[in-house]
A and B are shown apart, each in its own frame.
Chain A
Amino acid sequence: MKSDFVHGYIQTMDAEKDPRNLILAFQIARKIIDNFSLGVFVEEMFEVVSCYFPVSFSPPPDNPHGITKQDLVLSLRSCLSATPLFSEYCLPLLLEKLTSDITSAQIDSLQTLAECAPVYGTAALKEYISSFYSCLRKEVVDGDSEEVKRESLKCLSCLISTLSTDITDISSSSVLKSFIEEIFSEYRIYILKSDVKILYNASSLLHCICDANSIACCMVLETAVPLVLLQYNNQTQINCRRCLIDILNMFISCAARHNTEQVLKIILIHKADLISTYTELLLARDKDISCYGIRGVAAILKCNNVLSESEAELFSKHIATILLSNSDKKIRNECVITVQLLASQFPVIVKSEIQTKLIEKLNQDQMEIDGDSSVSKEDLMGIITSISHHKLLLTDITYFIFLQLNQQKDKICSSEVLTSCLCSMVENNKTNGDVLDYTNTSIVPNILQLIVDQYQSLTSNDIEHLATILRISCTNSSSSICEGLYKQIVDLFLHGKLKGITLKDFQPLQNRSNKSQLCSLPLVTAVVCSVPLSETMVNIDDIVSSVMSICTTTDDLTICEYGSKCIAGLLNKLTESYIEGILMDIDKLWDGLFTVNQSSENVERSVILLTWITKALVLRNHCKAKEYIQKLLELLSVDIVGSIVAEYFYIIVTQYKDILNSEMRADIKMFYHQRLFLENKDRLVTDYQESESGAIKKNYLIVLSNLMKPLQKQVLLPELPLLLPLLIHSLVYEDRNLIQVTLTTIQSLCENKEGSLLLCKHLDSVIPQLLQLSKYLSDMKIRISALKCLNTVSHLPSHLILPYRNTVIKSLVQVLDDKKRLVRNEAVTARSKWFLIAEPGSS
């Protein structure tokens, strides 16, 4: 029955044409091949399946059955790769189709070969491997299609993996070994020619083989490394030398990706030659060439334990010289990457050979440096920051930075550069336990001392950087360390005590009149709002009440914002019983806002504080949150207050790095943006329609656009038919934020089908508005966004936008002469696109 069944099936399937049946037929065939013995019918089975290869099928226009070409290709491929018995028939077929003129057939054959190779095995491939390789080589070296090239390399990688199974010894003869030898006999010819493009392509084949398998990598590197080195030394043309070094670097990177003992052994054999070559490159005058040298050093460093300490020292010396004498950005970046690798393996050497020299240079007089005009002190600080990835490397530079910060004058660069470097170093290493430890024991105490001594000279950016360091320390350390830090902060800011000593004139939370002391509030926020809340935390009430009274009395809006953030951070996390009392005080503030006769300064202060508080409650979905939001919306219709509320409404939807985020353990409920939007949009739309004054209508639009900004497209789309006319209308109001949000929405609408359809209905009003905004003189960002929108609008169906073509082209002439280059660039792009609409030659 078995063989009769197989025979019967073959007859049934023969000459089937319907794609629906074919998909099934291929699936059944695969099942039969897997579960039945094909016996004498191997060839018949293969014939009946393979006659469809390569698949050529284009579904009818509306594709009623949903069958794609890809479905057929994949199910046919799974039959061909089902059994090694097919190899003797299938491999010649694939070989023939590889040389096809049709790209899709070529790609199909390459993918099929890649899938079949591991099933058919080395023995079956042996006979055909040279022929396959010459096809692949032809495509990679001489072909023009990038896609075919990519697939050829993938296929080669599969072939090599198959050939390398079961090989453990690289020196004994094997199919793989003779195959690789054959490849090299050709490669030797390529490498002698000076055609850079061909050499790159030919080398990409070898790189692909290296990447496929570590055994194959050994076999290739054994010959390739000395060959490329030799040719590099013989070659005289500079662009060829460059290319050869690049190729060599890629070979070494391949070795580093495997990092097995066998592979590294080969690199070790040639180590001396490699090191002398790279040293020579590092000393070269041509900056491109020395870039390749630096990259080569990086590649060797990635190979485990290849470089000895003395060799690392040698390279470090050369790189230090380059860093100190070269101002080219590209070469400096390469150096920094390499030094980072060096520092992870040889921190002591990097410290003594590179960092010390850089810091010395920082200390030199400006006069001396002007002489060689190489690297500015800011750049030097930047370099030191990006290479310091080890505790050992941090000590000297932090000492230097604090020394500078405590100096009243003659700083080597502005304090902002110094604090931002310190901050980046801590940020870059926040997962490194040693560095974190160092931050807690040394950097943080230094920061607190610095605040006490220098609060008058630190800028708000400095404070922000220092606060970031405290925040990183709190969010990454254990709870006992956090508690300690919390205590220090309370002692310092509330009681005016540092290290047990009472300070006379530093009491920011008590003495609320000293503004420059109050500017250090972000430091309190950073600690108090990021430590995990626990029972042992004393004085929380005192902090809240002090900060609250600062917010309600200060006449400085920045300080009010600092304080509001602190209150918001705490209200978001404290337990219900705690905040109940606080909220009662807050209700009084609300009442104040609704009474008239307030000075606008008072109003603004209350709005900032209440908006932040509302945000804190909305995030944790507190029962009062809805009430507070309703109050804010109610205020929108009040004169003056309304516009202030609208102006600050962005706070509620914006995410902040320094407060109310998940790193600081804030209580954030999922989908709060969506909830906020869906709960309030109807009210906003009705209020908008009912209000009569333009100024108040604008307030509603601003809030609405803010609510829409963070939403996913899927949530927004169903609402847009209602909202889009409103938004387009908002383009007439002179409010930059509102215009900007609307333009972004229009831009993102064009990116999907439903959105564009919707937009098409409003082209009549949108396009003239966009053209007008492209000449919005007071803000170049708006001009740019408007032009970008016009550019995306040009992708809409051409029969709809064609009527506007001439108007747009004519109107943009003026923008071509805009005073800003960035605007002109966008105008050129947009205008060129509109020229091509419905023209011959446009795709």
Chain B
Amino acid sequence: MSLDNANPVVFQKTTEREILPEDEDNDVLDEIDDREVYDLIRSINDPEHPLTLEELNVVDHANVHVDNKKNKISISFTPTIPHCSMATLIGLSIRVKLLRALPPRFKVDVQISPGSHASEEAVNKQLADKERVAAALENSHLLKVVNECLTIREK
């Protein structure tokens, strides 16, 4: 299989979130914020390269928005090239990761950053359709690829 983008530009990883004293205080409430959700998806592996979505700049801290009160999360991601055939798969991986990692009260919206992909609308539609997402996960081959993206690599 030939790669869509054989030699991608690698970006620097963000440093780990600093742990503040109030984070260790059981009586303080920490709200789920942009950074926390970004931390969930930045370590997802790219389907093609031995790199994470963060290192390829597919996901970015600035494109994750959490509204804790309204229980809404919106995320946009940027495929490395406009014809990337993996865009749907990446979107699906982000969706599944958040399905497993976020409390069910949130409504999650995953989209391609406007203007960054040739078939942007079609992909967005697929990702927004709950039933199509569920159906995709019934397909064991697809599930395997998604799980591989979500397995955290032991270093």
Contact with B along A796-827 (1 / 0, CB 8 A): 00000000000000000100110111101100
Contacting A at CB under 8 A, from B114-144, are 140-141, 143-144
Contact check: which of A820, A828, A840 meets B101 at CB < 8 Å? A828
Q: Which of B58-66, B72-80, B81-89, B147-155 is near enough to bind chain A?
A: B147-155
Q: Is the CB of B147 within 8 A of A813?
A: no
Structural contact, B147 and A839, CB atoms closer than 8 A: yes
Contact present for B101 and A836 (CB under 8 Å)? no
In A761-813, the 8 Å CB interface with B consists of 778-780, 813
User: Does A308 lie at the interface of the complex (its beta carbon under 8 Å from any beta carbon of B)?
Assistant: no
* B2 beta carbon closer than 8 Å to chain A: no
Q: Are A816 and B148 in contact (CB under 8 A)?
A: no
Closest to A195 in B: B7
The listed residue (A144, A197, A780, A821) touching B36 by CB distance below 8 A is A821
User: In the bound complex, how far is the Cα of B100 from the Cα of A831, in angstroms?
Assistant: 7
- A819-B29, A821-B30 given as contacts; is B140 within 8 A of A840 (CB)? yes
Query: When the two chains form the complex, which single residue of B32, B141, B143 contacts A839, counting CB atoms closer than 8 Å?
Result: B143
CB distance from A288 to the nearest CB of B (A): 10
Contacts of B103 in A (CB 8 A): 813, 816-817
A832–B36 CB distance below 8 A = no
Contacting A at CB under 8 A, from B87-126, are 97, 100-105
Q: What is the distance, in angstroms, from B80's C-beta to the closest C-beta of chain A?
A: 15
- Whether B50 lies near A780 (C-beta < 8 A) is no
Q: Which residues of A contact B48 (CB under 8 A)?
A: none
Chain A residues within 8 Å of B28, by CB: 820
In the complex, whether A752 has a CB less than 8 A from a CB of chain B is no
A60 at the interface (CB under 8 A from B): no
Q: How far is the CB of B51 from chain A (nearest CB, A)?
A: 11
Bound CA–CA A144/B36 (angstroms): 31
Asked if A780 meets B40 with Cβ closer than 8 Å, knowing A817-B105, A822-B19, A841-B145, the reply is no
Q: Given that A817-B105, A821-B36, A822-B24 are contacting pairs, would A841 and B19 also be in contact in the complex, using a CB cutoff of 8 Å?
A: no
* Contact assessment for B151 and A813 in the assembled complex, using a CB-CB cutoff below 8 Å: no
* B104→A813 contact, CB < 8 A: yes
Assess whether B150 is in contact with A832, with CB atoms less than 8 Å apart.
Answer: yes
Known: A197-B10, A841-B145. A836 touches B151 (CB 8 A): yes
**Nearest CB of B to A378, in Å:** 14
A828 touches B148 (CB 8 A): no
B24 touches A780 (CB 8 A): yes
B26 touches A832 (CB 8 A): no
Identify B144's interface contact among A817, A824, A835, A841, CB under 8 A: A841
Does B56 count as interface, using CB distance less than 8 angstroms? no
- CB-nearest residue of chain B relative to A239? B12
User: In the complex, are the beta carbons of A841 and B26 less than 8 A apart?
Assistant: no
* Chain B residue nearest to A836 in the complex (CB): B147
Chain A residues within an 8 Å CB radius of B53: none
Contact partners of A842 in chain B: CB under 8 A:
147, 151
What residues on A are CB-neighbors of B40 within 8 Å?
A: 828
A843 interface contact, C-beta 8 A: yes
A832 touches B24 (CB 8 A): no
- The chain B residue with its CB closest to the CB of A780 is B26
The residues of A that contact B36 with a CB separation of less than 8 Å are 821, 824
Secondary structure of the B side of the interface?
Answer: helix
B23 touching A822 by the CB < 8 A rule?
yes
Residues A779 and B26 in contact, CB atoms below 8 Å apart = yes
Encode contact with A along B30-71: 1 for CB under 8 Å, 0 otherwise.
101000100110000000001000000000000000000000
Does the CB pair A840–B147 fall under 8 Å? yes
Q: How far is the CA of A820 from the CA of B100 in the complex (A)?
A: 18
Q: How far is the CB of B38 from chain A (nearest CB, A)?
A: 13
Please report the C-alpha to C-alpha distance between residue A842 and residue B24 in the assembled complex, in whole angstroms.
33
Task: Output the nearest chain A residue to B103 by Cβ-Cβ distance.
Answer: A817
User: Of A197, A779, A840, which contacts B143 at CB under 8 A?
Assistant: A840
On whether the beta carbons of B151 and A843 are closer than 8 Å, the reply is yes
Q: Which residues of A lie under 8 Å from residue B105 when comparing CB positions?
A: 817
A813–B24 Cα distance when bound, in Å, is 22
Asked if A841 and B143 sit within 8 Å, CB to CB, the answer is yes
Residues of A within 8 A of B104 (CB): 813
A779: nearest chain-B partner, CB-CB:
B26
Residues of A within 8 A of B146 (CB): 841
- When the two chains form their complex, are residues A824 and B32 in contact, meaning their CB atoms are under 8 A apart? yes
Q: Say which residue of A779, A819, A841 sits within 8 Å of B30 (CB atoms).
A: A819
Cα-based distance from A828 to B97 in the complex (angstroms) = 10
**Which chain B residue lies CB-closest to A832?**
B100
Cβ contacts under 8 Å, B152 to chain A: 829, 832
Closest chain-B Cβ to A31's Cβ sits at a distance in Å of 43
Cβ of B100 and Cβ of A840 under 8 Å apart?
no
Contacting B at CB under 8 A, from A324-346, are none
Query: In whole angstroms, how far apart are the Cα atoms of A808 and B39 in the complex?
Result: 23
How far, in Å, is B12 (CB) from chain A's closest CB?
10
Contacting residues, chain B, for A836 (C-beta < 8 A): 147, 150-151
Least distance between A784 CB and chain B CB atoms (Å): 10
- A831 CB to closest chain B CB (Å) equals 6
Q: Across the interface, do A820 and B151 meet the contact criterion of CB distance under 8 Å?
A: no
Residue of B nearest to A783 (CB): B26
Distance in angstroms between the alpha carbons of A841 and B30 in the assembled complex: 34
Q: What's the nearest-Cβ distance from chain B to residue A201, in Å?
A: 13
Q: Which residue from chain B places its CB closest to the CB of A197 in the assembled complex? A: B10
Closest to A815 in B: B103
Q: Are B100 and A144 in contact (CB under 8 A)?
A: no
**By the criterion CB–CB under 8 Å, are B100 and A778 in contact?**
no
Smallest CB gap from B139: residue in A? A840
Chain B residues within an 8 Å CB radius of A835: 100
CB distance from A370 to the nearest CB of B (A): 23
Other-chain contact of A832, B101, B143, B145, B148 (Cβ < 8 Å):
B101
Knowing A813-B104, A819-B30, say if A841 contacts B23 (CB, 8 Å). Answer: no
Q: Which residues of B contact A828 (CB under 8 A)?
A: 40, 100-101
Residue of A822, A829, A840, A842 most packed against chain B (CB within 10 A)? A840
In the assembly, what is the distance between CA of A273 and CA of B29, in Å?
A: 55
Find the B residue at minimum CB distance from A782. Answer: B26
Give Cα A839 to B143, complex, Å. Answer: 8
Q: How far is the CA of A832 from the CA of B146 in the complex (A)?
A: 12
Bound-state CA distance A825–B32 (Å) is 11
Measured CA separation A233–B103 after assembly (Å): 53
Report chain A residues within 8 Å CB of B140. 840
Tell me the bound Cα distance from A546 to B29 in angstroms. Answer: 49
Given contacts A820-B26, A828-B40, contact A841 B147 (CB under 8 A): yes
Residue of chain A at shortest CB distance from B10: A197
- Bound CA–CA A825/B35 (angstroms): 12
Bound Cα distance A816, B26 (Å): 16
Chain A residue contacts of B143, Cβ below 8 A: 839-841
In the bound assembly, the distance between CA atoms of A820 and B102 in angstroms comes to: 14
Q: Which residues of A contact B151 (CB under 8 A)?
A: 836, 841-843
Q: Are B147 and A778 in contact (CB under 8 A)?
A: no
- With both chains docked as a complex, state the minimum distance between the C-beta of A728 and any C-beta of chain B, in angstroms: 25
Residues of B within 8 A of A821 (CB): 23, 30, 32, 36
Q: Is the CB of A816 within 8 A of B30?
A: no
Give the chain B neighbours of A839 by CB distance below 8 A. Answer: 143, 147
Beta-carbon contact of B147 and A144 below 8 Å:
no
A residues adjacent to B (C-beta < 8 A)? 144, 197, 778-780, 813, 816-817, 819-822, 824-825, 828-829, 831-832, 835-836, 839-843
Given A836-B150, A842-B147, 17 more A-B residue pairs with CB atoms under 8 Å apart are: A197-B10, A780-B24, A816-B101, A816-B102, A817-B103, A817-B105, A819-B29, A820-B26, A820-B30, A821-B36, A822-B19, A829-B152, A832-B100, A836-B147, A836-B151, A840-B140, A841-B147
Interchain residue pairs A-B with the least CB separation, the first 5: A841-B147, A841-B144, A817-B103, A840-B144, A821-B30
Q: Which residues of B contact A (CB under 8 A)?
A: 10, 19, 23-24, 26, 28-30, 32, 36, 39-40, 50, 97, 100-105, 140-141, 143-148, 150-152
Q: Can you give 13 contacting A-B residue pairs, CB < 8 Å?
A: A816-B101, A820-B26, A820-B30, A824-B30, A828-B101, A829-B152, A831-B101, A832-B97, A832-B101, A836-B150, A841-B144, A841-B148, A842-B151
